[in-house]
Amino acid sequence: MANVCFLLADGYEDSEMKNPYEAMNEAGHNTVIVGLEKGVELKGKKGTVSYVSDISINEVSVSEYNAVIIPGGSAPEALRVNDEVIDFVKQANEKGKVIAGICHGPQVMISAGILKGKNSTSFIGIRDDVKNAGATFSDEEVVVDGNIITSRTPKDEPAFIREILNKL
């Protein structure tokens, strides 16, 4: 059983949070929602789901988690400008923790500087950002490079979830 944290802010892609979150719980993993603040309701951009943050980013310790999952939507834009989020992701990468981002999720990885020299995918709209961050972009449903897992869109969720579970 692994401890898995989801980095979340308002405006995430509903299914990109809901489906991996439910899959991790069904597999018996402990899931924690890390927000910019603790106890805040975070709503999906389509309004079909909402979650309350269990802990704030400034209270969290990398050593407590085996994996970090970053759903897409507009939430990664709010997360990537927060220094604690970037430090957390950098530390997780240094410790070889699984870091998984789907759709716009790799924006947080870009800001943390962890995609340089890696193979990656993402939502097509940030493809150039991924390349400019020093990654090799592949238009595939899921790309695994060491501890980093990336996917493109909600239709890729089954492959994304499968690879996260394989790593755990």
- The SS3 assignment for 144 reads strand
How large is the angle between the packed helices 157-167 and 14-26, nearest 10 degrees? Answer: 40
57 and 112 in contact (C-beta within 8 Å)?
Answer: no
**Residue 59: half-sphere exposure toward Cβ, Cα within 13 Å:** 13
Q: Which residue has the tokens 């939507």?
A: 73
47 and 73 in contact (C-beta within 8 Å)?
Answer: no
Among the listed residues 104, 118, 127, 167, the single catalytic one is 104
The C-alpha R_g of the chain, in whole angstroms, comes to 14
Question: How many CB atoms neighbour CB 48 within 10 A?
Answer: 10
> Is 104 part of the annotated catalytic residue set?
yes
32 and 5 in contact (C-beta within 8 Å)?
Answer: yes
Among the listed residues 5, 103, 109, 110, the single catalytic one is 103
Catalytic amino acids? 103-104
